[in-house]
Every structure is written in C-alpha cells, then in structure tokens.
Amino acid sequence: MYGRFEAAVETRIAAIEEPRTGVEVVDRNGALLRAFASEDGRWRLNASVDDVDPRYLAMLIAWEDKRFRDHGGVDPVAFLRAGWQSIAHQRIVSGGSTLTMQVARMLGRLPTGSFSAKGEQIVTAFALERTRRKDDILSLYLDLAPYGGNLEGVRAASWSYFGKEPKRLTAAEAALLVALPQAPERYRPDRFPERAKAARDRVLKRMEGLGLIDADEAARGMREAMPNGRRSLPVLAAHTAVRLHQADPKRERIRLTIDKAMQARLETYAREKVSSLTKPVSLAILVADSATGEILAAIGSPDLFDRERQGFNDLTRAKRSPGSTLKPLIYGLAFERGLAHPESLVDDSPAAFAGYRPQNFDRVFEGMITARRALQLSRNLPAVELLSAVGPARLVYRMRRAGADPELGDRSLPGLAIGLGGIGLSLEDLVGIYGGLANGGLAQPLHVEVDPALVKGAGAKRILSAQAAWYVTSILAGAPTTTKGSPGEIAHKTGTSYGYRDAWTIGYDGRHVVGVWLGRPDGAPVAGLVGQDAALPVLHDVFSRLGPVERLPGPPPGILASAGGNLPPPMRRVGRAAMAASASSRPEIVFPPNDTRIEIGLGEAVAALGRQDDAAFVGQESGAGEASRTGAGGADLFLKVRDGKPPFTWFVDGVPVARDALTRQSQVRLTEPGFVDILVLDAAGGAARSSVFVE
C-alpha cells in the first residue's frame, strides 16, 4: 500500500507543471505598465511572497492553515476533524484542506466536495512538499487563488478591486483578499457587496481575536467602503507594449525603459489636450534621454480606443513629412565642413537650384541675414543653398547614422527637396536625430527595452562634430551670438509639412529630448495647422511635466566665437551672398566712363606734332632739331578706378600701359584721336572695361 502511494507521489512530481501567468510589461523600476491575459483568458499575474503585504500573508495563514509551516502537505489534526464531520453529516463539511492541498486542487483544476478529488489533492500535496520550499508553495497559491470571474491570483485581484499592487494593503483590503477565495463567485464585491462585506468582517473579527490586529483597526476596517466594481488593470505605453508582446508572445515579462510616473502624467495631459482639438486631429509625444538613448515616455495616441482618431495607430512610428525639422542638421553639416558659421551672411532671396525653385513658408524674403537668424526664422532659401553645398546624400547618411530610417519613396537618390520635408520620417526618427544634437553630435541608439548588457556609449555614432552640434544648439536655444556660456535651457525647432498635414516641434534641454506631432492620422490636410502655433505650446507643456529643466551645457573646445568682419574671410559670406559680395567688390572704371566721347586736345597736339615733323626734316639737312623730334607729343588721358583690390594693371587697346600699387588713378599718353578700349585688372582678378572715343 505504501509502495503504491509512493509511486503515485513520484508520478505527480513528474506531472506537476508551473502555471502560465499573463504577460507583464513593466517600467524601468519594475512597476506594472500593462498586462495581458493568459492563454486561457484569465487575468493571472505572477506573484511571490515578496510581492505582497506581510500582514496579508499572516492573515491568510492564520485563516486557512495555521500549521502551514509545520506540516508536510496534510494537517493530521484538521484532516481528522474534517473526516469526523464528513462521517457525521454524510458530506464534506470543512474539508480540512491545507494551503498545499488547495494549491494541488488549483493546479489540477479539481472539483470540490468529492472524495476522489480529495485523494488527488493529498497525493499532489505530498509531491509539492517534497519538491518545493514553503514560500514557493505559498507563491503558487498567490498566483492561482480564484477571486471571481476570470480573476486569479492576489495581484490581479488587488489591481482589479483596489487599483494597486498588493504590497501595501489596509487591514480591510487584506481581509477581503483572504475571504474571497473561499467562495469567489458568491462573495464578489462587484456583484454582491453585502455578502463580500460580511465575509471580510468575519476575517477581521477573527484576526482581532488572534491578536494580528487591534480592536480599533478592526473597527476601522469594518467601516471601510467596499469596492463598488472592478477596475481595469493599467494600460500605459499601450502601443509599445502591444508591439513588443506581438513580436514575442511567449515572453512573460517585458521590461521597458519607460518611467511609469512620467508616462502616466503625459498620457493624462495628452487626453486633456486632444479634447480641445477637432476630431480626427490627434497627437503623439515621445521623450528620450539624450545621453543614453532610453525612451522615457511614448504616447502613440492619446486614447487607444478612440476610433475617430484611429487611436490604435502608433503615431510615434508613422512616416510623415518632417517639414523644416531637418534644417538644423543641414546647418550643422555646413558648420562642420567649414562652409559656414552661425554669423556668416547668407542670402534669403528668390533663386533656382538646378530647376528647383523653393519658396519661403510666408512668401516673404529677408535678403542678406546671418545663418543664425536664417535658421531661427526657418528661411527656406538659405537651407536649400547650404544643402546643395553639403549634398543631400550626406544628409541622408547622417540621418541613418542617428538610427533614422528615412523613406525616400520612389526616388533612388535624394534631391534638394528633402531639406524642406520631401522625405518620410517618424517622430521616433526625429527624436533620435535631435538626441544626437543634444548629446554633442553623438547619437545614442534609441531603445525602449531595458538591456543590462548595453553599456552607456555602446553603439553611439557621431552625426556631427561637437563644435557643429554646439553651434546648432546655440541657435535653436535662441542665443543672439555664439557665446562661451550655456545658451539657455531649451533648444527647439518647429516644422510644418506641405499642405498643413503635420505640425512638429522637437526640443531638448540638458537631459531630455522631446518630440511632438499633431495632425490627422489619415494624413489629410488640417487648415491652419502650423508647428509654431500648434506643436510648440505642447512642447512647453511637456517640459513642465518632466521636472526641473536642466540647462544646456557649455561649448566644447574649438568654438569660434566671432562675428562679422572678425570671421575668416571665406566664412563671412556663404553661397550667393559671397557671390554678391564678390560682384560688389569688383573694380569699376570711374573715368573715362564707358561709351562716351572725351576731348583731351588731340587736334592741337596733332598740329603741333606736324610742325615738329617739318622742323625735323629741315634739321636733318642742317644737322639740327634732334631734341624736338624726340620730345613729348599727343595728350594725356587720365584713368580712375573704384572698388576692387589693388594693385591695378591698366591696358589700352590690349597693351599694358600702367601699374600702380598705391593709388586708384593713372594716366596714359595718346597721340591720335579715335576709339580706345580700356581694361583694368585688380589683384583678385576682377576686371572692368570702358570703350571711349577720344579727340
């Protein structure tokens, strides 16, 4: 008999399977963000003795199995008492089940009130006691105890009835959780509050009698209101949780870099904010740590269940036109390559670039302004000109180094239009790019899962030099000049896509980088939707909910804190501005002006020259007059130039006639009237011409 029992126990040991609990998505500190029901549709969350209030455990053991720590799975005293009652009443009255036997029944889904089922419980209880510690058996009870409906386990029950983890329970809450598994459907507080209260109060009285709580606490517990219904389990960072769960459905615990408190604050704000927007306009927010790449909050839509706003779509990952949000990276590349400086002059005037004719958003042109001001005003023409200089392919390459996945459509090679939004990027892409700007040009790969193996700095890629990133930061922070100190607290850039489809703002302080998007999920236009007006206020609201703003860091070594004429000459003007300056500095012949008739007395000079020639002929015969023949003849034409860079070389009818390094004027002796072609060259190769008729 004993041998058969031992064989049965050994068989049960081999057959015991750990219960499958639902998938949990937790934040960086282990706090529950979202849970998914188990495969059988039950809400069952993993719990151990360390996850619950110690007083609840004491009350549970005192109520259900006071000799739990001492018996080997079956309590002989309780079992004999239950057997005597069953014989006397011809039915099972008190069962005599220990906590271990209850776990055995729940594991095997065995019925109550059956002698054969009771035998199965006993065998399995011995199997459990031989293979597990007492706390492990207790943890199984905490996972499997029924609490009404599809609730199983103390954590699911605590969240559903009290909206919190069972780590800190009041005496009344603990008593209710002790009482419910005795008759989970009969005592459900959401359906039968009076029965539930009576069961809870019985536990409180018993605990008072055992000295686990005092009379005052028992009285307070009995006055405590009952839960009036079931609450929903947390549903935070819903889109991220669903995406990762679907990617690996068998993973029971997913730990994110999300900060639960921050996520909750921003989700509440997003719901409040979107309620003031006309449907179906929606909103997405992403917050990351620029130094680590950790995503701290992700709101794909304000309400997962809002069908009119397509709340099921994760708009942090939707590819949209980024509008002007790529301009900072364009300027950064120009700064890095030495093509420009924040104080360089650029030309904001109409122009065509290989057939591409961009316009400013407001159809207004500023003319000659600094690169700093051009970026702060988000002027399109300077940005396109700088992009033409650095190359669209280089811009795309740097975006990809930041972890972005730009969508080029059917174009195999990027064109200049990408600088003004002619490309597809997500909010996540842009936050990654701006995270690189915020981190001194070094982009940390964005990630939302906690990875202990990911060492800080591992996988980081440089998208800009530290100096270029600093220049961009000083501009976006609104600094008036390139100074040596911190430029301020928040650097930001807005963007509006073509047709008012998307409104963006991306900003960062000394730690956080925040991305905001507004628009319709279906991509349709929204009249008047502009980043400056719609998205920028949201950015400021988000930063106000992140805690104290951290000032932006000071500049790295190698910053050129100069302006205007103090810049190196090649940096003073850029592109068309430099060409215009070059044109304005070319030499110009002031005298004689082009296409004029100039009288310099050549008629009298010619007559005098004729008389000198006659005298010379007579002199040949007499041997006199040699000095008169070689004397000066003709008349002088004065030459004058302005602008240009000395020294100047003058040419008359193609023959060099004068070079003067000191003055801007010269003269040439002409001997006969007629047309004269005059050319002057300066030291920089600039030239000017003048054609005149002299007489």
Nearest-angstrom CA–CA distance, 526 and 533:
13
Nearest-angstrom CA–CA distance, 303 and 331:
37
Closest CA to 348 of 381, 375, 371: 381
Closest CA to 252 of 557, 25, 570: 25
- Rg of the chain's alpha carbons, rounded to an integer? 43
DSSP state, 294?
B
In the numeric block, which tokens belong to residue 268? 């509440």
Q: Do 417 and 492 contact (CB within 8 A), yes or no? A: no
In the numeric block, which tokens belong to residue 598? 């100039």
Q: Where are the alpha helices (DSSP H) in 163-306?
A: 171-179, 193-210, 215-223, 238-247, 260-274
Residues contacting 655, CB < 8 A, separation 6+: none
Q: DSSP readout, 543-560? A: HHTSSSPPPPP-PPTT--
Nearest-angstrom CA–CA distance, 325 and 378:
9
Backbone phi and psi for residue 238, each to the nearest 5 degrees, phi listed first: -60, -45
Nearest-angstrom CA–CA distance, 320 and 312:
17
Nearest-angstrom CA–CA distance, 307 and 294:
30
Three-state SS sequence of 49-79? HHHCCHHHHHHHHHHHCCCCCCCCCCCHHHH
Burial of 421-438, coded b for 16+ CB within 10 Å and e otherwise, reads bbbbbbbbbbbbbbbbbb
CB atoms inside a 10 Å sphere around CB 389: 15
Amino acid identity for residue 565 in this structure: G
Q: For Cα atoms 392, 396, 400, give the angle at the middle one, nearest 5 degrees.
A: 170
In the numeric block, which tokens belong to residue 677? 């072609």
Nearest-angstrom CA–CA distance, 671 and 636:
9
CB atoms inside a 10 Å sphere around CB 606: 16
User: Angle, nearest 10°, between helix axes 215-223 and 171-179?
Assistant: 70
Nearest-angstrom CA–CA distance, 129 and 21:
22
Q: Which residues are marked as active site?
A: 64, 324
Measured between alpha carbons, how far is residue 106 from residues 54, 125, 137, 262 in Å?
Answer: 23, 11, 12, 39
3-state secondary structure of 585: coil
- What is the dihedral sign for C-alpha 154, 155, 156, 159? positive
